[in-house]
Structure 1
Amino acid sequence: MSAEMFASARYVSVTTFRKNGTGVATPVWFAVDGGELFLWTRTDSWKVKRLRNDSRVVVTVCDVRGKVEEGAPTAEGTARLLAGAELGAVRRLLSRKYTWQFWAVDWPAMIVRLGKRPHTGIAVTF
């Protein structure tokens, strides 16, 4: 499996796992670079909390609402949380892929948060 199989998709559903093993799927923006899939999410999100306990993920191509078509590409992987300089690289990858959409969401949110960006990057390896 390779992250490249997801490169042409617009959204992916990332399933993270609760302590009891139940999967929770979330549609997200993503970018592929260097054989890894990169995500961007709020630091206090439940998916970050779940990944701190269990790094397993399942990634599936989906639409903006998380609907998965039958036969959509799916892969199991391992996620790691990113911060610092790595986080900046994830932001650049996403802003390159989603251009104005990324900035339309990120800049107003940054203004509301008084310039702080409490986000975490996630790198998924398959």
Structure 2
Amino acid sequence: MGLQELGSARYVSLTTFRKDGTPVATPVWAVADGGELYVWTRSDSWKVKRIRNDGRVTLAACDVRGRVEEGASVVEGRARLLDEEGLRRVRRLMSRKYTWQFWVVDVPAALARRGKRPHTAIAVKL
């Protein structure tokens, strides 16, 4: 499975690794652009903390509950956290791919937090 296939999947299982090497998989929205796969998540999530410690990740297409089909391709990658400019770019990419679903999630969250969006964008190079 390559970058374009992962980028077109509805959900991607992003596996990050704890300090002791234990894998932790999470289903996320993802979009491919410019040779990287981008993910958008809350800044206080454990996956952000794990990526800060170790950028090694694995990825596979999955369903909304994170179930990966038996025999599905799993690819390895290197993740990095993006700055505010990167987050704005990823937010635009996500809004194009996920359209109304993105706005149902993002806009009410921003209103509840008085305009603050506590999110982090993650770039993954396969």
TM-score range normalised by the length of the shorter chain: over 0.9
Matched, 1:90 2:86: no
User: What is the RMSD computed on CA atoms of the aligned residues?
Assistant: 1.0
Deviating runs (4+, > 6 A) in structure 1? none
Residues in 2 aligned to 1:33 and 1:75: alpha-carbon distance in whole angstroms: 17
What residue is the counterpart of 1:14 in the other structure?
Answer: 14
CA displacement at 1:98 relative to structure 2: 0.1
Unaligned runs of 5+ in 1: none
Unaligned runs of 5+ in 2: none
Q: Residue type matched to 1:122 in 2?
A: I
Question: Matched residue of 2:105: which SS?
Answer: helix
Describe the superposition over 1:66-119 as per-residue Cα deviations: whole angstroms up to 9, x where unpaired.
Answer: 011012232000000002211100000000000000000111111111110111
What residue is the counterpart of 2:122 in the other structure?
Answer: 122
Query: Normalising by the residue count of structure 2, what TM-score does the alignment of the two structures yield?
Result: 0.96
What residue is the counterpart of 2:64 in the other structure?
Answer: 64
**Identity within the alignment, %:** 67
Q: Residue type matched to 2:78 in 1?
A: T
Residues in 2 aligned to 1:9 and 1:94: alpha-carbon distance in whole angstroms: 13
| Preserved CA contact (<8 Å) 1:13 1:60 | yes
Q: Residue type matched to 2:47 in 1?
A: K
Question: Matched residue of 1:27: which SS?
Answer: strand
CA displacement at 1:2 relative to structure 2: 3.9
Q: Residue type matched to 1:98 in 2?
A: Y
Q: Residue type matched to 2:110 in 1?
A: M
Query: Normalising by the residue count of structure 1, what TM-score does the alignment of the two structures yield?
Result: 0.96
| Preserved CA contact (<8 Å) 1:5 1:73 | no
| Preserved CA contact (<8 Å) 1:6 1:73 | no
